[in-house]
Amino acid sequence: DLAVTVITAFLWLVSTFAWAKALADIKMSTGASIIPGIESCKAPGTTCRFASVTSMGTLNVSVVFGLLNVVLWGGNVWFVYKDTNLHN
């Protein structure tokens, strides 16, 4: 049980970091910084403006809940460790 709990906690941590990195990449690739890279915006006499981006608050909350879940799994590891023969 201890090994499975440790592996699950570690994988949850890794997947939370991967999701946080993916969310940061999504924000970067949909932000105002992409305008200079658009070829049609470089044409003479053309003006491009950045209007808005959809709110990503719920995605930020999902990352926070992922990190809180890592803390929960860490607590589970501790309690499973306390029930083994390794802890005297």
Q: Are 26 and 62 in contact (CB under 8 A)?
A: no
Supply angle C-alpha 15, 20, 25, rounded to 5: 125
pTM of the model: 0.78
**What pLDDT is attached to residue 2?**
92
Pairwise CA distance, residues 19 & 26, whole Å? 10
pLDDT in tens, the chain (88 residues): 899 999 999 999 999 999 999 999 999 888 888 888 888 888 899 888 888 878 899 999 999 999 999 999 999 999 999 998 887 7
Number of folded domains in the chain? Answer: 1
**What pLDDT is attached to residue 87?**
78
Q: What is the DSSP string of 14-63?
A: HHHHHHHHHHHHHHHHTSGGGGGG-GGGGSTT-----------HHHHHHH
Domain range enclosing 39: 1-85
**What pLDDT is attached to residue 69?**
96
60: which residues sit within 8 A by CB, 6+ positions away?
Answer: 23
